[in-house]
Amino acid sequence: MLTYTPPLFRPPSEAKSLILQVTLGCSWNKCSFCEMYTTKQFQPRNFDNIKKDIEQAQSEWPSPDKIFLADGDALVLSKNKLLPILELLHAKFPKVKQISSYATPQNVLKKSDQDLADIHAAGLNMLYYGVESGDNVILNKIQKGVDAQGVCDGIIKARGAGFKISTTNLLGIAGKKYTKQHALNTAKILSQANPEYISFLMIMFPLGDERFLNAFGNDYEALDQLELIQELRNTLANLEVKDSEIRANHASNYLPIKALFPKDKVATLAVIDDVLNNPDPSKLRPEFLRGL
């Protein structure tokens, strides 16, 4: 049976995908809001072990549509390490339609254009990319390790190499003091980089917020439900993209939204305004269902 080294995470849209661990943990592992891999030391997995997993997966799951390469940032692997994995995957699963992984801006920025193009040509075609915020104050406070221009440049560079990009953007991460600039500057870099998919998650701290608050400083005050929705509205209102799918339907969101921008922009803002102008708990995901 295909086994994993826990904890194992994947994007919500990869729920039906074959998951293959090619690295363990996250090579950065410093973002103050993220506890995904804090119990795990980062390490690339040995090719022989990955090959055994691929052969095992083939006997259990002969024809997956999609494959997700875990853990936290498989794109940290060099072209020389990724290409044999991708070639083996395509040899064993010739009908696979999409191979994806998480990627940090640093992973993309450190690779040459040619290496990115070669990795894409070998079959890794979709990257889940953590934007979190487009505001430099917030990126610094959450210890993202890259500034807003770097976050933006990484998307543009990866898209230039052919990758489809799905960004993760955090609501509530800036607190009350910085919410407006967080929304405005996040919309600004997303508009500039125009990723294919833009996903919003509302920040949650299932293991406690101490680490996050220590890094942020003493000027963090959490947004309430309606303020979180207002922050989503402020971001979407300033978003000028061509053909991007907007997803704020992750379980963390109080108000699930799925839309195509710019086509659905006016209608989406009207839905949000209706909630903001006529607050009614029955229109929102109940607190006990958040994160489920």
The binding site for ligand SF4 (CB under 6 A) comprises 26, 28-31, 34, 36-37, 72, 104, 130
Q: Which run of H or of E encompasses 274?
A: helix 265-277
One-letter amino acid at 104 equals T
- Residue closer to ligand SF4 by CB (options 64, 154) is 154
Residue 219 per-residue DSSP state? T
What are φ and ψ of residue 127, in 5° steps?
Answer: -120, 130
CB of 190 to ligand SF4, least distance (A): 17
Q: What ranges in 61-170 are assigned the alpha helix state H? A: 79-92, 105-110, 113-121, 136-141, 148-160
- Residue 89 makes CB contacts below 8 A (sequence gap 6+) with 20, 54, 67, 96, 99, 123
CB of 171 to ligand SF4, least distance (A): 15
- Residue closer to ligand SF4 by CB (options 64, 130) is 130
- Residue closer to ligand SF4 by CB (options 130, 134) is 130
CB of 121 to ligand SF4, least distance (A): 25
- Residue closer to ligand SF4 by CB (options 96, 173) is 173
Give CA 153 to chain center in angstroms.
16
CB of 27 to ligand SF4, least distance (A): 8
Q: Are 142 and 215 in contact (CB under 8 A)?
A: yes
CB of 33 to ligand SF4, least distance (A): 7
- Residue closer to ligand SF4 by CB (options 180, 211) is 211
CB of 130 to ligand SF4, least distance (A): 5
- Residue closer to ligand SF4 by CB (options 32, 181) is 32
Q: What length is written for the chain?
A: 292
CB of 245 to ligand SF4, least distance (A): 21
**215 burial via Cβ count (<10 Å: 0-12, 13-18, 19+):** middle
CB of 35 to ligand SF4, least distance (A): 8
Residues paired with residue 164 on neighbouring β-strands, in sequence order: 126
- Residue closer to ligand SF4 by CB (options 30, 263) is 30
- Residue closer to ligand SF4 by CB (options 26, 174) is 26
Nearest partner of 198 among 159, 143, 234, 243, judged by Cα: 243
Nearest partner of 99 among 10, 202, 155, 17, judged by Cα: 17
User: How far is residue 198's CA from residue 167's CA, in Å, rounded to a whole number?
Assistant: 5
